[in-house]
């Protein structure tokens, strides 16, 4: 089966006419233009292929009998036909990357399925950013593989972590934050919950984080290490005597090193904050800073997230 993409952009192309957003301006300045999505399957235009309407798009058959699932347009999430494994899936990965994970979770898309991004437009900053994200989405990287994402408050580190695993069919989300009585903190937790795919498994954990790393397969997202450190410091009475938390840190590092899962963990880069004015604050900074270094040393990847932009740490 030959899939020929004569265009991959949204209905009005990319850059959009007269659009002044940064994405369109970058392409226009570089003299680059992407034509609207137009698909030929074995030389036949998509609209002339044998196809059946499904919610969000089309179930298509090539002349050779291959099955292709195609999004109907930007923002569309094509529903697979029950018990069908598709040979190819043409999806709006810019607007609905989580749909890829859902299709894999349902078994409609497998490692043998050819995945192609269509309806690409200014919803993503650049073609280069799309390629970076596709690097995480197109193949299901198995463990052991550890990624540590560092950043300051509201840096976008949680969104980056979720993006990296959004195409994975089985994700265990480990929430280390305790809801408590703070309405603002509770609202943050709820916002994170709404952003996560419904098929992800959520586990709330503090002291048993090491056990989860040792016993969980598939993909694990830990958000985050900073709230875990605060919890174990409280449980061990380490705010006044930081050394009391050392056994918990050692246990976590041992589990991190031995895990067979694909793990993405979010942590606070304490070096970006002000010098704490209290002994407890300085103790937390020192404990978390040291733990970040130990985790990074045992990670295949580490990156710093600032204002939603990502810099790999080599």
| Residue found under tokens 């407890």 | 280
Spatial distance between the Cα atoms of 19 and 269, rounded to a whole number of angstroms: 36
Q: How far apart, in Å, are the Cα atoms of 32 and each of 9, 131, 210?
A: 12, 16, 49
CB-CB contact of 85 with 121 (8 Å) = no
- What six digits make up the tokens of 77? 């999430």
> How does DSSP assign 266-300, residue by residue?
EEE-GGGSPPPSSHHHHHHHHHHHHHHHHHHHT-S
Task: Assess whether 192 carries a catalytic annotation.
Answer: yes
Encoded tokens for 225:
């290490």
Collect all residues with Cβ–Cβ distance below 8 Å to 44 and sequence separation of at least 6.
Answer: 62, 63
d(CA 271, CA 296): 15
What is the rounded distance in angstroms from the CA atom of residue 229 to the CA atom of residue 243?
Answer: 13
Find the catalytic residue in 34, 105, 145, 192.
192
Token look-up 């195409």 returns 167
Residue 8 DSSP class: -
Q: What is the CA radius of gyration of the chain?
A: 22
Burial class (CB in 10 A: 0-12, 13-18, 19+), 79: middle
Give me the sign of the Cα torsion angle 79, 67, 98, 299. positive
CB 21 within 8 A of CB 46: no
What 3-state class would DSSP assign to 262? Answer: strand
Catalytically active residues are: 192
């Amino acid at each position: 089966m030959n899939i020929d993409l004569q265009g991959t952009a949204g209905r009005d192309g990319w850059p959009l006419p007269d659009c002044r957003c940064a994405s369109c301006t970058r392409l226009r300045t570089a003299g680059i233009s992407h034509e609207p999505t137009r698909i030929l399957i074995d030389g036949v235009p998509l609209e002339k292929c044998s196809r059946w309407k499904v919610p969000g798009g089309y179930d298509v058959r090539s002349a050779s009998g291959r099955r292709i699932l195609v999004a109907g347009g930007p923002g569309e999430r094509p529903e697979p036909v029950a018990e069908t494994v598709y040979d190819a899936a043409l999806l709006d990965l810019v607007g609905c990357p989580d749909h890829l994970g859902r299709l894999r979770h349902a078994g409609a898309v497998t490692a043998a399925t050819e995945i192609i991004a269509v309806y690409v437009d200014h919803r993503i900053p650049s073609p280069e950013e799309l390629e970076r994200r596709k690097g995480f989405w197109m193949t299901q990287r198995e463990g052991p593989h550890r990624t540590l994402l560092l950043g300051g408050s509201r840096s976008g580190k949680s969104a980056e972590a979720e993006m990296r695993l959004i195409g994975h069919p089985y994700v265990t989300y480990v929430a280390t934050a305790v809801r408590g009585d703070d309405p603002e903190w509770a609202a943050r937790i709820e916002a994170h919950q709404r952003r996560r795919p419904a098929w992800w498994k959520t586990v709330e954990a503090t002291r048993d984080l090491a056990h989860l790393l040792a016993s969980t397969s598939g993909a694990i997202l830990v958000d985050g290490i900073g709230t875990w450190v605060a919890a174990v410091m409280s449980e061990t009475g380490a705010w006044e005597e930081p050394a009391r938390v050392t056994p918990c840190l050692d246990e976590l590092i041992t589990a991190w090193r031995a895990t067979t899962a694909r793990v993405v963990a979010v942590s606070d880069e304490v070096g970006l904050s002000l010098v704490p004015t209290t002994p407890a604050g300085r103790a937390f900074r020192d404990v978390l800073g040291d733990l970040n270094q130990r985790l990074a040393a045992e990670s295949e990847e580490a990156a710093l997230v600032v204002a939603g932009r990502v810099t790999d740490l080599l």
